[in-house]
């Protein structure tokens, strides 16, 4: 019997949307290190300064609890997304998938057929492509630690630190080997996130689905299997290796469009037939509430931080001594951090914790001026009466109006 000859309508495909998502995520990862806000990187870990620049906020190492809160929020968010949308991250956004797609795209452009094509030229071009991509990704990762402008200046002038070179080469080698040897095996066998997802997916999770009622329309063309990067036959039901990429859905839609029929495969929230309503279950609602609550706590914690911080430590290099007038001189180091986005001047004062009596400070405790996000180490001497008892001293950081911004306590034995 001949196929119907009436014109067919082009089916709506998901592939262009998936590619847009992948390009968007890739550009974002590549460009974020180049942007600055309030004079600092948008997102960067500064190891020498022990600081994290995070979208206009400068977090010092002592504020790492905020980073931990943020990591917890990311984990909860990931759990929630995985529980609701399954492996959508893997198929639509994950850099590993994007790199593998790029490697496969380039091999197709070269007309290179793995296992069958032994052309040395094509193999060499392909491996050069992997290497260039690996170097770009490795450099991109480093830009989250070293500003890209500084990275290129140091690279051009040959002043790059050997540790940076080691990281660059090591990460590039791992990515090169991943592209040359592992690729999709990472998603099906090694990726811990992929393994983890299998425990989170339940009967309400978004997945590619071919309802049994539709199987009668299947023409056994095998297009859905041929396009599947994970080598899955979706007709056999949900499989944990499926990365929700939607290629099988597109393939089936294209095949069936030629017969003026809708595709058989669709995204659906589980197999219960409840659709989006399936999402309203205790597990998802509890996790959504926890994620929301943690987001509020984090925003509150970040924006309610004092505008400056003070850390005090007795000097480890200069011993305290008794002066001619009988008082004791103790040497201190202090670290002041201006967390605000404007220039600020500070003063440090000291008081006895027990009775709030003022104590004398000599050195640099006055007229401390710092730019936005600036840090400064200050050395000064605390003069205290010699006493048998242990002395508790409060150091207070004041702004130029005399308001208290931060304090720290020290003990003089």
Q: How far is the CB of 84 from ligand SF4 (least distance, A)?
A: 16
Residues contacting residue 399 through CB under 8 Å, at least 6 positions apart: 307, 308, 344, 345, 346, 405
CA 290-292-297 angle, to 5 degrees, is 95
Q: Decide whether 217 or 311 has the Cβ nearer to ligand SF4.
A: 217
Does residue number 224 form part of the binding site for ligand SF4 (CB under 6 A)? yes
Coil, strand or helix at 242: coil
The verdict on 223 binding ligand SF4 (CB under 6 A) reads yes
Judged by CB, which is closer to ligand SF4: 69, or 225? 225
Does 3 interact with ligand SF4 (rule: CB under 6 A)? no
Of the candidates 177, 202, 184, which has an alpha carbon nearest to the alpha carbon of residue 80?
202
Residues 6+ apart with CB under 8 A from 260: 4, 6, 8, 9
Q: Does 252 bind ligand SF4 (CB under 6 A)?
A: yes
Q: Which is nearer to ligand SF4, 260 or 366 (CB)?
A: 260
Q: Note whether 369 and 362 are within 8 A (CB).
A: no
**Partners of 331 in beta bridges:** 381
Among 80, 94, 146, 208, binds ligand SF4 (CB under 6 A): 208
- Our CB check for ligand SF4 shows the closer of 224 and 361 to be 224
| Residues touching ligand SF4, count (CB under 6 A) | 28
Contact 230, 241 (CB under 8 A): yes
- 230 lines the binding site for ligand SF4 (CB under 6 A): yes
Residue 372 in 3-state DSSP? Answer: coil
Q: Tokens 């899955």 — which residue?
A: 232
DSSP reduced 3-state for 88: helix
Orientation of helix 95-109 relative to helix 120-142, angle to 10°: 150
Q: In the numeric block, which tokens belong to residue 302? A: 């970040």
CB atoms within 10 A of CB 340: 20
d(CA 53, CA 34): 13
Residue 94 in contact with ligand SF4, rule: CB under 6 A: no
Residue 247: CB minimum distance to ligand SF4, A: 4
Q: Does 90 bind ligand SF4 (CB under 6 A)?
A: no
> Which of 18, 60, 209, 247 contacts ligand SF4 by CB under 6 A?
247
Tell whether residue 244 is a contact of ligand SF4 (CB under 6 A). yes
325 lines the binding site for ligand SF4 (CB under 6 A):
no
- Kindly state whether residue 84 participates in binding ligand SF4, applying the rule CB under 6 A: no
CB of 49 to ligand SF4, least distance (A): 43
The enclosing H or E element of 375 equals strand 375-385
Please tell me the total number of residues recorded for the chain in this structure.
413
Contacts of 280 (CB under 8 A, 6+ apart): none
Report the residue number, 44 or 247, with the smaller CB distance to ligand SF4: 247
> Counting contacts by CB under 6 A, is residue 246 touching ligand SF4?
yes
Binding mask 167-206 for ligand SF4 (x = CB under 6 A): ----------------------------------------
Q: Which is nearer to ligand SF4, 234 or 279 (CB)?
A: 234
When the beta carbons of 138 and 244 are compared against ligand SF4, the nearer one is 244
Point out which span in 67-75, 102-110, 236-244, 278-286 binds ligand SF4 (CB under 6 A): 236-244
Interacting stretch for ligand SF4, rule CB under 6 A, among 20-28, 162-170, 251-259, 341-349?
251-259
Number of CB atoms found within 10 A of residue 147's CB: 18
Tell which one of 220, 325, 388, 413 touches ligand SF4 (CB under 6 A): 220
Q: Which is nearer to ligand SF4, 235 or 339 (CB)?
A: 235
Q: Is 123 helix (H, G, I), strand (E, B) or coil?
A: helix
Contact residues: ligand SF4, CB under 6 A: 208, 210, 218-224, 227-230, 232, 234-235, 242-248, 251-252, 255, 264-265
């Amino acid at each position: 019997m001949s196929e119907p000859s009436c014109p067919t309508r082009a089916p709506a495909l998901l592939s262009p949307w998936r590619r847009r998502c992948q390009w968007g995520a890739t550009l974002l990862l590549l460009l974020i290190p180049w942007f600055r806000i309030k004079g600092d990187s948008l997102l960067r870990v500064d190891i020498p300064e022990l600081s994290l620049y995070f979208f206009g906020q400068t977090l010092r190492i002592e504020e790492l609890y905020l980073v931990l809160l943020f990591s917890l929020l990311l984990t909860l968010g990931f759990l929630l997304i995985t529980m609701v949308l399954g492996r959508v991250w893997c198929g639509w956004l994950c850099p590993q998938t994007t790199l593998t797609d790029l490697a496969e795209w380039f091999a197709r452009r070269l007309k290179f057929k793995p296992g069958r094509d032994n052309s040395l030229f094509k193999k060499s071009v392909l491996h050069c492509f992997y290497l260039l991509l690996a170097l770009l990704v490795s450099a991109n990762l480093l830009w989250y630690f070293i500003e890209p402008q500084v990275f290129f200046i140091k690279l051009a002038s040959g002043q790059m630190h050997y540790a940076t070179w080691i990281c660059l080469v090591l990460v590039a080698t791992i990515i090169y080997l991943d592209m040359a040897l592992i690729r999709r095996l990472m998603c099906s066998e090694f990726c811990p996130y992929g393994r983890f997802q299998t425990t989170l997916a339940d009967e309400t999770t978004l997945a590619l689905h071919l309802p049994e009622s539709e199987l009668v329309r299947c023409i056994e063309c095998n297009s859905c299997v041929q396009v599947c990067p994970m080598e899955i036959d979706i007709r056999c039901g949900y499989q944990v290796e499926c990365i929700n990429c939607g290629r099988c859905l597109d393939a089936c839609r294209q095949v069936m469009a030629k017969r003026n029929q809708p595709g058989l495969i669709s995204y659906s929230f589980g197999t219960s037939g409840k659709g989006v309503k399936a999402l309203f279950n205790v597990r998802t609602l509890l996790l959504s509430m926890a994620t929301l609550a943690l987001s509020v706590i984090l925003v509150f914690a970040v924006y309610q931080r004092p505008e400056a911080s003070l850390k005090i430590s007795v000097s480890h290099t200069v011993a305290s001594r008794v002066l001619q007038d009988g008082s004791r001189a103790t040497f201190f180091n202090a670290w002041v951090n201006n967390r605000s986005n404007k220039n600020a001047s500070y003063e440090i004062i000291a008081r006895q914790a027990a009775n709030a009596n003022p104590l004398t400070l000599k050195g640099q405790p006055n007229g401390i001026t710092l730019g936005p996000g600036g840090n400064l180490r200050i050395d000064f001497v605390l003069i205290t009466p010699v006493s048998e008892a242990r002395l508790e001293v409060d150091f207070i950081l004041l702004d130029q109006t005399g308001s208290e911004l931060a304090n720290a306590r020290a003990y003089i034995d």
